[in-house]
Copies of this chain bind each other. A is one copy, B any other.
Amino acid sequence: MRQLTFALWLLLIPAFVVAQEASVMQQIKTEGIENSQVMDIAFHLTEKSGPRLMNSPGYYRAMDYSIDQLKAWGLDNVAKDEWGDFGKGWELKKFYIAMKSPWYKPVIAFPKAWTSGTNGLKTAAVILIDPEADSTALVNNYRGKLAGKILAMDKLIEYKLDDKADLVRYTKAELDSLGAIQLDKKEADTTGMAERRRKWIQSWRESRKKAEILGNLAKEEGAVAIISSSPRNHDGTVFVQQGGSHAMDAPENFLDIAMALEDYNMIVRLVRANEPVELELEVDSQFYTDQEKGYNVIGEIIGTDPKLKDEVVMIGGHLDSWQGSVGATDNASGSAVMMEAMRILKTLNIKPKRTVRIGLWGGEEQGIHGSRGYVSKTFANREDMKLKPAHEKFNVYFNFDNGTGRINGIYLQENEAARDIMNKWLSPFEDLGATTITIENTGGTDHLSFDGVGLPGFQFIQDEVEYNSRTHHSNMDSYDHLV
């Protein structure tokens, strides 16, 4: 809780557009420390709502809650904001899986989103699939053999002993080194990073294509499920995302279940040792097709200065999550911090001259859809780069989406001109450790939607805490993992 409170002081910087007086800053700090509601907001977004997979009931519960809450605090123009087409929602209604023979063992696993169910309780033998088989070989070698079977790749996943703590924080040296990078001296790509990335994307596409072919074959043949694993899935933590397209016109994806490597490897080893392995499983998942559109939540505090109120300072984070848990660090933390920032401004009756607006985005996890849609219709269309009038009135966007760690500073996104402003802006928060300004880019989330049409959009430098080791897109992204 301490760290979320901590983070939001920094986010209350929009207040500095109204008043730089020390007394206001002090009021904000006091409200944030003594009357913090951030963990209560986070509780409502997570455990009260459930997983917030886009267009699923959990997403809409969180959306309704945040709209009600922002209205209750007295924000202006609070509304669900349509940003365009998204596609189907999906929700797990029942999930049971266990190894039934050679002996009984409950298995730790989670179905991938937008995959179909088993249509009741099934018992099925496991068949191992040659991981080296290309698309043609898959079809040739396995046609006629998959009916009633569960498919697993004939490949053991390497378990690596945890020789590092899950908890990761920046060291001073790391932050200093981030801060010291200079734009004109940034090294050219001598290490072949771009080439490696290109190869990685190519190999990812190939493996996706093969997975699709296998899924289609399994479906055609009447198989029961595919199970899969990865080196990160250990100790009971399972990372799980989508099992195919969520587009409204896409067919239901074949059932694909992410599994803890300990259980997955056990199954592979037993089948290799000629044990007849049978799993017992029941998956009931529901697709929601009544609503193709996607919605964000938008609300604002309209500026009080008639000349300045058309200017907008914006803060935000994404409201949606993956399905394995309740998206606590990805990204209820960001949404809760941003909502709490707005609450404090209203509670203290701070009247900004410019308009302060909050955006809680949908569909971030499937490609920052919500913020892109909002930016496109509000500021500039990405396709033709035609600017709308609001574009020139837009001041800045601050995004919060990197877990639950302390804010150490900010990424400039290679915008050297912003350094001086950020320096002044962060100065009241030096005592909280928010001192590092780096010219570097950081990617992967909603500030890119602003950055992409020439609007200043920034993300903070946050300690990872357990983001990469445990919580990010896993079944452990739960309320207790919030700091």
Contact = CB atoms under 8 A, between A and B. Distances in A.
A161 B483 contact: yes
Given A235-B237, A262-B478, A476-B262, A91 B104 contact: yes
Given A163-B167, A269-B43, A236 B102 contact: no
Interface string A112-125: 00000000000000
Contacts of A266: 47, 326, 478-479
A430 interface: no
A425 interface: no
Interface stretch (A92-100, A174-182, A443-451): A92-100
Interface in A254-290: 260-263, 265-266, 269-270, 273, 275, 280
A128 to B, nearest CB: 15
A162 B388 CA distance: 48
Contacts of A273: 43, 48
A47 B99 CA distance: 12
B93 A162 contact: no
A48 B108 contact: no
A283 to B, nearest CB: 10
A93 B162 CA distance: 32
Given A260-B236, A479-B262, A167 B159 contact: no
A248 B185 CA distance: 77
A103 B47 CA distance: 9
Interface string A448-483: 000000000000000001100110000110111101
Contact of A165 (B43, B92, B104, B163): B163
A110 interface: yes
Contacts of A94: 98, 104, 280
A327 to B, nearest CB: 13
A13 interface: no
A288 to B, nearest CB: 14
A105 interface: yes
Most chain-B CB neighbours within 10 Å: which of A48, A58, A102, A103? A103
Contact of A58 (B57, B103, B466, B481): B103
Given A48-B273, A94-B98, A236-B237, A159 B481 contact: yes
A50 interface: yes
Most chain-B CB neighbours within 10 Å: which of A104, A164, A275? A104
A262 B47 contact: no
Nearest to A475: B236
A222 interface: no
A234 B92 CA distance: 23
Contacts of A326: 266
A106 interface: yes
B93 A96 contact: no
A234 B98 CA distance: 21
A305 interface: no
Contacts of A261: 480
Most chain-B CB neighbours within 10 Å: which of A92, A106, A238, A273? A106
Contact of A96 (B96, B102, B263): B96
A470 B235 contact: yes
Contacts of A96: 96, 98, 106
Given A235-B236, A238-B236, A105 B50 contact: yes
Most chain-B CB neighbours within 10 Å: which of A43, A236, A263, A280? A236
A166 interface: yes
Contact of A465 (B50, B105, B161, B466): B161
A275 B105 CA distance: 32
A169 to B, nearest CB: 9
Contacts of A480: 159, 234, 261-262, 265
A171 to B, nearest CB: 14
24 contacts: A43-B273, A47-B269, A48-B270, A51-B103, A92-B104, A92-B106, A93-B104, A94-B98, A95-B106, A96-B96, A96-B106, A161-B166, A161-B466, A161-B483, A162-B166, A162-B167, A162-B469, A235-B237, A236-B237, A262-B325, A262-B476, A262-B479, A266-B326, A266-B478
Given A51-B105, A162-B469, A163-B165, 8 more contacts: A43-B269, A92-B106, A93-B104, A94-B98, A95-B106, A235-B470, A266-B478, A269-B479
Interface of A: 43, 47-51, 57-58, 61, 91-96, 98, 102-106, 108, 110, 159, 161-167, 234-238, 260-263, 265-266, 269-270, 273, 275, 280, 325-326, 465-466, 469-470, 475-476, 478-481, 483
